Structure 1
Amino acid sequence: MIDTPTRERAEAARGDRHLIPVPRDPRAPYRAGSWTVIIAVLLVLHLLAFQATDFKPEALVTGATGMLNFLSEAFPPDLSPEVLQQGIEGALTTLWIGLLGTTVSVPFALLLAVLGARTTTPNSVVYQIARGILSFFRAVPDIVFALIFVTAVGLGPFAGVLALICHNTGVMRKLWSEAMEDIDPGPEQALRTAGASRWQIVANATIPTVLPQLTGLLLYRFDVNVRSSLVLGLVGAGGIGLLINKAIKTFQFDEMLTYLIIILAVIVAVDLASAWIRKRLQ
């Protein structure tokens, strides 16, 4: 009979024979060197950015008195009926600008998303043209579009709607085309095998498959556009942003605070409604 220590040593020896040595990765030193270079470059870039932007946190301390004076003049907010009425009307206008800027851009964004996705547009020339057009609309900020349209159609919310339509079309094209490129190709291949045309495949396979994702992205953009329409009002595109700009220029900081509270309530309501709709789509 083999004693217990001898048996354990024999089992350990048999186990050692089954161990496979892990080979050392020859690229490990190069990866470590690459990360070192990347971190060093990022540090240098941040140092340059701090210098270029005159980043001085101590300025907040020295300017604390001015900030306190500003806040003391803003509190309490002006809750007079006239100011509340103007703020509610301006907030609704801001909401309508964001709504129209989102929904009116849908057909343009959808068409260009189909033309700008590789899975739905095999023609490379059409694909590059669609991407070029939408890259321009996406690259130009909405506030620049607002300044352009203010000079064309005058001050007011219509300029803000046009600005959001142009910018949102470019952004939605990118988001939607990427969603179309990531779907399961099975339904499309089945219709293609059955002899369906390309537009029939898009209408009956691509869009129905990706529709919940497209709707979720559209709701996200609606949230963003409502906030953007507030900023567009600062350059004359209407809405409550115009009232905030006017209140700041006339040093009516209590009115400004009232308008900010109103638009905060509107944005929270939009967020809750969008979250509720997205939950129902899942």
Structure 2
Amino acid sequence: MSALAPEPAPRRLPVPRRRRDPRTLATGAAVLAVLAALHVAAWIGAEMDLGMLAEGWHGMVRFVSEAVPPDLAWDPVVKDGLKACLVTLWIGLLGTTLSIPFTIALSVLGSRATNGNAAVYQAARGVLSFLRAVPDVVFALVFVTAVGLGPFAGVLALVCNNTGVMGKLWAEAMEEVDDGPAQALRIAGARRTQLVAHAVLPACLPQLVGLVLYRLDVNVRASLVLGLVGAGGIGFLINQSIQEFRFDQMLTYILMVLVLVVAVDVLSSLVRRRLAP
């Protein structure tokens, strides 16, 4: 019995050379030139000077040497720090959840998928832009003058800022859902509120929940900054320790913040994984 003849090796065809459009090359070169010019202008405008950084390393070393090792005394450093971390967590939690009703209202009015009135749409988008443009620190300063120092001002500040940020994200998520179920309900004579409740929101609910968890992570970190302006929490203790030149206590509070942020991030990741299809 004769052996089977080996199959011929496949023939390699030459790869055609890609023709480059001169206009594409010119456009790419122009974009790179503009980006380079912007970075040069930004470098000059930001007064970047690596020489000053090299000359100031003594101050950084002295600062770190005064902060290490951290002050781990239970009373009052660690004990007060744990209480302040809990307050920081409550500020971030309430600042996220209390903004959800306002976020739903403004995102529904500010989405083309749920609102066909152009005037109302633009008004809702304007409110969201304003709440998003004003920093949460500015809101905190305003509310501190109204309700005094403490975490209540921080919660109110986060509610305002989070409504603007999350409202925009929710409105865009609503506009990306499949319009089929909403069209079917519209043909059946459903009202706009029924379209939102039974077609739009259920379709993008996992994405909305994911955005809420993401904003919770952001707001817990933001509440730390709000504490620097008198809104309570661990940020207030960090600011106080800096003013008293107790950098060892400051490092202790920063380590506590690190643990808090990592814990919230892990918890959010677990919840998002559970909600993933």
TM-score under structure 1 length normalisation: 0.90
The one of 143, 159, 172 equivalent to 1:149 is 143
**What's the offset of the Cα at 1:263?**
1.0
Deviation per CA, 1:16-74: give whole Å up to 9, x if none.
xxxxx99968xx22222222111111111111111111111232221111111111111
In 2, the alpha carbon distance for the partners of 1:33 and 1:227 equals 44
Q: Which deviates more from structure 2 when the two are superposed, residues 271-280 or residues 184-193?
A: 184-193
The one of 71, 76, 84 equivalent to 1:90 is 84
Match in the other structure for 1:65: 58
The one of 111, 120, 123 equivalent to 1:126 is 120
**What's the offset of the Cα at 1:206?**
0.6
Q: Which deviates more from structure 2 when the two are superposed, residues 146-155 or residues 119-128?
A: 146-155
In 2, the alpha carbon distance for the partners of 1:34 and 1:151 equals 53
Match in the other structure for 2:3: none
In 1, the alpha carbon distance for the partners of 2:98 and 2:46 equals 38
The one of 193, 218, 228 equivalent to 2:222 is 228
In 2, the alpha carbon distance for the partners of 1:31 and 1:146 equals 49
The one of 202, 208, 213 equivalent to 1:214 is 208
In 2, the alpha carbon distance for the partners of 1:29 and 1:127 equals 43
Deviation per CA, 1:242-274: give whole Å up to 9, x if none.
100010011000100110111111111000000
Match in the other structure for 1:45: 38
Residues 1-282 of structure 1 mapped to structure 2, 5 A cutoff: 28-82=21-75, 83-282=77-276
**What's the offset of the Cα at 1:276?**
0.2
Deviation per CA, 1:121-169: give whole Å up to 9, x if none.
0110110110011110001111111111111211111111111000000
Q: Which deviates more from structure 2 when the two are superposed, residues 57-66 or residues 124-133?
A: 57-66
In 2, the alpha carbon distance for the partners of 1:36 and 1:22 equals 21
Structure 1 residues 22, 185: closer, same or farther in 2, change over 3 A?
Answer: farther
In 2, the alpha carbon distance for the partners of 1:107 and 1:192 equals 25
Deviation per CA, 1:88-121: give whole Å up to 9, x if none.
0111111111001000000000111010000110
Structure 1 residues 186, 58: closer, same or farther in 2, change over 3 A?
Answer: same
Q: Sequence identity, in percent? A: 59
- Greater CA radius of gyration, 1 or 2? 1
Q: Which sections of structure 2, spanning at least 5 residues, go unmatched?
A: 1-10
Q: Which sections of structure 1, spanning at least 5 residues, go unmatched?
A: 1-11, 13-20
In 1, the alpha carbon distance for the partners of 2:137 and 2:24 equals 43
Structure 1 residues 157, 23: closer, same or farther in 2, change over 3 A?
Answer: closer
In 1, the alpha carbon distance for the partners of 2:17 and 2:107 equals 48
In 1, the alpha carbon distance for the partners of 2:194 and 2:24 equals 48
Match in the other structure for 2:6: none
In 2, the alpha carbon distance for the partners of 1:217 and 1:161 equals 19
In 2, the alpha carbon distance for the partners of 1:74 and 1:22 equals 61
In 2, the alpha carbon distance for the partners of 1:23 and 1:156 equals 65
SS at match of 2:156: helix
SS at match of 2:228: helix
Structure 1 residues 203, 66: closer, same or farther in 2, change over 3 A?
Answer: same
Question: What do you get for the CA RMSD once the two structures are aligned?
Answer: 1.7
In 2, the alpha carbon distance for the partners of 1:31 and 1:156 equals 57
In 2, the alpha carbon distance for the partners of 1:196 and 1:268 equals 45
**What's the offset of the Cα at 1:171?**
0.4
**Paired amino acid for 2:65:** S
